[in-house]
Structure 1
Amino acid sequence: MLAKHKDNMKKTALPALFALHIAVFLFGAAGVLGKSLAVSSLMLVFGRTLFAALCLIPVLAYQRQLHVRDVSRSVVLCGFLLAVHWLTFFASLNFAPVAFGLMGFASFPLFVALLEPWFFKEPRRAQDAWAALFVVLGMVVMVSGTSWGNGALLALGLGIISGFSFALLAMVNRWQGSHIPPFKLAFLQNAVAAFLLLPFVLLAGDLAGNSTQIWSGLILLGVVFTALSHGLFMFSLRHLSTSFASIMTSLEPVYGMLLAFLFLRETPGVLELTGAFIIMAATAYASYQHQAH
């Protein structure tokens, strides 16, 4: 009976793991696409959240899951955290190379490893903490060959805020995912984030003067790289722990580096490749331990 239960758990976890990897790949691709769009960080985040929410309306209407009463305090909190996460991350790219923002964001698994056992009253898992530490080590190696300018510390600080806010968001999503369908949760959070950002976008005047190419890029960013990716990520949190998902999310800069090489012709150096290898080894170790557990 116990063996049968374990087999069922593995069958449930495999689709979630597959969905998580697709989501992380799309997260990495979003950074490459966002970097190619000549708009402000505020407009970039507003556009992706707005179009992510809009594209999910017909899906939820067809499934009869579109209800205003589902906008709870926790959903509003998640929309706020989502906006803070993206704003701080994309803002960090304005002060230093992408690597510094990613290095700060790499603190995300450490925050989860420290907070999740307290948040969910679960025992601490040493292997998750070790994997998170090696992820941070990998990111340090990736940026160690980059020169530190005046804006590097600011970019690093913004990246850490981005990682902390995403850690809080992931844990609240894990709790909410038990009673709200994934794509419905994605719609609610993106809609709240877009609503919160709208007054600032109007004050900044960012809605005017954008080309058709910019709007097309924002629509693509919102539909595929936001709505789909976050729906898949929230689905994975229904079957996987937040700490494990956070370690897998650390593959985002690796995927981003690969895509930047393919589409932006940004060739990685030896240290970047070494750091990427350390991150991949840490995530592979975490995957093996999770399957064994």
Structure 2
Amino acid sequence: MDAVQKSLINLHLTVMLLGGTALFSKLIPLSALDITFGRSLPACLFLFAYVKLSGESLKLNNNKDYFIATGLGLIMAVHWVTYFAAMQYSSVSVGIIALFTFPVVTVLLEPFFEKIRLVWQDIVSALVVLVGIFMIVPDVSIENDITLGVIIGVFSAFLYAIRNLLHRQYFCHYSGSKAMAYQIAVICPCLILFVSDDFFSVDQAFNMHTALLLLLLGTVFTALPHALVATSLKHLRAKTFSLVACMQPFYGVVFAIFMLNESPTWQTLVGGVLVISAAVYETINTHRQHRKDKQCSS
């Protein structure tokens, strides 16, 4: 087995682990905010240890980058909280599909960050996503938990798109592991003021089982995949990574069906296919456009 094949296997393992994070919204008997805080503690320690063992400096280049890392971390904190909240209100299947509107949201927001013009294909992709989301929503009312979950999931996707665009513009000169380590380090202190009493009380809400689940979420399902990404990208193109990453909702839905006994409706599955199809198209189109830009500038 050559290096490329090993990297591809690592990449699929990474995406499976990231898809598996959705399960913890149902497995851990805590609020979305408490889960996010509990996830960030071990993830932060693991990633900083990984950066140190990799021989990379733990320091950032200048004071401005610490300010940028703080801003990105704050956005990530709200993104993670809304990510788990979306699935707690609705289901893993609905929440993770709503989240994966972010590739199309990113394309729609790019003109505000970079000198990129929208084309008619982007508008079509956005309309396809809207149809997909409409199929998932059972009732146009926030009193319906599934509808509320979809709204929160799309808001989480919006935050993730904003974070990715800002990261690409101001923070991409750091490795993925180091960048995530600093952003997660911001999540810990900013959420501790809002953590509920359940998190610190040793009772039915928070016991050894819950603590082990949070440790598993923070290390194996959060820090490890972000470390594997850096390894995978050494031998794979960014386009390959992006396309495989689009399989995350598939893995998440499959895990939810077999491990949580969820039964997604046919509307949810069809809506999910539309959303993911748009995500895959925008991924391919974005890389094609970047390649053209490089050719024009060379």
| Class of the TM-score when normalised by the shorter of the 2 chains | 0.7 to 0.9
After superposition, residues 1-293 of structure 1 pair within 5 angstroms as: 23-62=14-53, 63-67=55-59, 72-98=66-92, 101-102=95-96, 104-141=98-135, 143-144=136-137, 150-152=143-145, 153-201=147-195, 204=197, 206-209=199-202, 210-231=206-227, 240=238, 245=242, 251-286=247-282, 288-289=284-285, 293=289
Identity value in percent: 29
Q: Does the 8 Å CA contact 2:103/2:283 hold for their aligned counterparts? A: no
CA 1:248/1:283 → structure 2, altered by over 3 Å: closer, same or farther?
farther
Deviation, 1:164, is 1.6
Cα deviation for residue 76 of structure 1 reads 0.3
C-alpha contact (below 8 Å) 1:57/1:187 kept by paired residues: yes
The SS at the match of 1:72 is helix
AA in 1 matched with 2:32: S
After superposition, the Cα gap between the structure-2 partners of 1:267 and 1:100, relative to the gap in structure 1 and judged at 3 Å, is closer
Q: Does structure 2 retain, via aligned residues, the 8 Å contact 1:20–1:232?
A: yes
Contact 2:95/2:149 (8 A) holds in 1: yes
RMSD of aligned residue pairs (Cα, Å): 3.7
Unaligned runs of 5+ in 1: 1-13
Q: TM-score, normalised by structure 2?
A: 0.75
Q: Which range is displaced more, 209-218 or 74-83?
A: 209-218
Cα deviation, 1:88-141, whole Å, max 9, x if unaligned, reads 232334444455545653542343112113312234354455334434433433
The alpha carbon displacement at 1:29 in A equals 1.0
CA distance 1:228–1:169, shift in 2 (3 Å):
farther
Instruction: Tell which deviates more after alignment, 114-123 or 152-161.
Output: 152-161
Amino acid at match of 1:33: F
Task: Say how many residue pairs are matched.
Answer: 275
Cα shift at 1:67 = 2.0
Which amino acid is 2:274 matched to? I
**Is the Cα contact below 8 Å between 1:30 and 1:221 reproduced in 2?**
yes
Question: Quick one: structure 1 residues 96 and 224, their matched pair in 2 at CA, closer, same or farther if it must change by over 3 Å?
Answer: same
* Cα pair distance change 1:22/1:137, threshold 3 Å: farther
- The C-alpha deviation readout for 1:179-209, integer Å capped at 9, x for no partner, is 11110001101111112112222x6351231
Residues in 2 aligned to 1:157 and 1:139: alpha-carbon distance in whole angstroms: 9
Shift of 1:75: 0.4
| Counterpart contact for 2:15–2:245, Cα < 8 Å | yes
Q: What is the CA–CA distance in structure 1 between the aligned matches of 2:225 and 2:104, rounded to whole Å?
A: 22
Give 5+ residue unaligned stretches, structure 2: 290-298
Q: What is the TM-score with the length of structure 1 in the denominator?
A: 0.76
**Is the Cα contact below 8 Å between 2:103 and 2:279 reproduced in 1?**
no
CA distance in structure 2 between the aligned counterparts of 1:68 and 1:277, rounded to whole angstroms: 41
Cα distance in 1 for residues equivalent to 2:16 and 2:24: 13
The one-letter amino acid paired with 1:168 is I
Partners of 2:277 and 2:38 in 1: CA distance: 35
Separation (CA, whole Å) in 2 of partners of 1:147 and 1:61:
49
Contact 1:95/1:151 (8 A) holds in 2: no
